[in-house]
């Protein structure tokens, strides 16, 4: 059987995974250097020399380096074909099936930002007879996805629709600017710090000297997080006591919790309303993403609405869970063999 490599091509990270549990995530600022995407994908793919089939999902088409989402999808499809060469390459669609490259270009809106749908379809297999709520909190966004008898049951399919329905919340645990969570006029409305700094100071995120994908380009450490958050107060790390930045970090964590609590409550009610349509009675909650710690906290007040709980980190391991949509499309492609594709 051919080894399938799942790819999740985002605006800030490239992720790859195989069905047997190998996974790699690398930072890549697509919006700054779209012309380097083929080379970056090539470097990633070379870490999987046995790959003989590619299954792909994406969110990077939203980057403002592309004039339209259609252009973004086309650019990503072309970059994948440049790497896949003669090996099959298929692209997941919110129609619930894979598309070849020509179909992906023609049906670009169904392929655009479909990684949430791939993940929900994969998660649905955990509960094929019952209702499921998937709460996936990543570095940039949060997906709140109802699943009925194993199938995604959202009201929206595109990102604009899902935003309106409260199924997509544009907040995450790494890249969200703190000025998006702070009241105007009290703090600096600048990209001085992000939620990654909040969770570095609260201890939910581990320090990483090698990670310089931060607001000021300095490492993701508590010391530099203190400096970045101090500038939200129009100060600096010498002027601002650490107690003051820790206080602000705690406030930001509470604000993000509240930002998510209301849409989660709404989606919990909607999932409960699906019970009479289900062929089963199991009520499952699933948390995933780099912000799984926050997902657990947000779901805790609603725990009585579920009979079972699954953590993808516990189920798949931390490395694979970080690349969950890539792993999902790899598993889905393995279960749904398809033909070859070429540029």
Rounded CA gap, 279 and 275, in Å? 8
Rounded CA gap, 3 and 88, in Å? 11
- Residue 89 β-bridge partners: 54
Map out the domains of the chain with their CATH numbers. 3-116+319-335 (3.30.420.40)
| Pairing mode, strands 97-99 and 89-93 | antiparallel
Tens digit of each residue's pLDDT, the chain (343 residues): 679 999 999 999 999 999 999 999 999 999 999 999 999 999 999 999 999 999 999 999 999 999 999 999 999 999 999 999 889 999 999 999 999 999 999 999 999 999 999 999 999 999 999 999 999 999 999 999 999 999 999 999 999 999 999 999 999 999 999 999 988 788 999 999 999 999 999 999 999 999 999 999 999 999 999 999 999 999 999 999 999 999 999 999 999 999 999 999 999 999 999 999 999 999 999 999 999 999 999 999 999 999 999 999 999 999 999 999 999 999 999 998 764 443 3
Where do we find the tokens 């409960």? 272
Rounded CA gap, 200 and 65, in Å? 30
Rounded CA gap, 174 and 152, in Å? 26
Q: In terms of pTM, does the model score above 0.75?
A: yes
User: What tokens does 264 get?
Assistant: 């989660």
Rounded CA gap, 24 and 87, in Å? 20
Rounded CA gap, 32 and 64, in Å? 9
DSSP string, 226-253: HHHHHHHTT--TTTS-HHHHHHHHHHHH
Contact call for residues 77 and 69 (beta carbons, < 8 A): no
């Amino acid at each position: 059987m051919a080894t399938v490599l799942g790819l999740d091509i985002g605006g800030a990270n490239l992720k790859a995974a195989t069905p047997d549990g190998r996974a790699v995530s690398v930072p890549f600022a697509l919006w700054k250097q779209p012309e380097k995407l083929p080379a970056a994908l090539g470097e990633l793919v070379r870490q999987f020399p046995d790959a003989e089939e590619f299954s792909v999902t994406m969110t990077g088409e939203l980057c403002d380096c592309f004039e339209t989402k259609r252009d973004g999808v086309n650019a990503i499809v072309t970059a994948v074909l440049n790497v896949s060469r003669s090996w099959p390459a298929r692209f997941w669609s919110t129609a619930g099936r894979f598309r070849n490259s020509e179909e992906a270009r023609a049906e670009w809106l169904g392929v655009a930002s479909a990684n949430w749908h791939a993940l929900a379809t994969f998660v649905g297999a955990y509960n094929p007879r019952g209702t499921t709520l998937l709460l996936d909190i990543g570095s940039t966004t949060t997906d709140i996805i109802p699943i009925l008898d194993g199938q995604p049951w959202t009201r929206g399919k595109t990102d604009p629709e899902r935003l309106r329905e409260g199924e997509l919340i544009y907040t995450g645990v790494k890249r969200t600017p703190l000025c998006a969570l702070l009241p105007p006029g009290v703090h600096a409305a600048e990209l001085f710090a992000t939620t990654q700094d909040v969770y570095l100071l609260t201890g939910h995120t581990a320090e990483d000297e090698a990670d310089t994908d931060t607001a000021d380009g300095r490492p993701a450490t508590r010391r530099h997080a203190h400096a970045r958050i101090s500038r939200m107060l129009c100060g600096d790390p010498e002027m601002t006591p650490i107690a003051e930045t820790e206080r602000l970090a705690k406030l930001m964590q509470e604000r993000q919790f509240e930002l998510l609590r209301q849409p989660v409550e709404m989606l919990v009610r909607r999932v409960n309303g699906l019970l009479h349509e289900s062929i089963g009675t199991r009520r499952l909650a699933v948390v995933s993403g780099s912000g799984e710690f926050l997902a657990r906290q947000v779901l805790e007040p609603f725990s009585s609405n579920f009979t079972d709980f699954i953590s993808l980190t516990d189920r798949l391991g931390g490395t694979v869970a970080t690349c969950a949509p890539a792993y999902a499309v790899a598993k889905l492609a393995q279960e749904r063999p398809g033909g070859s594709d070429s540029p």
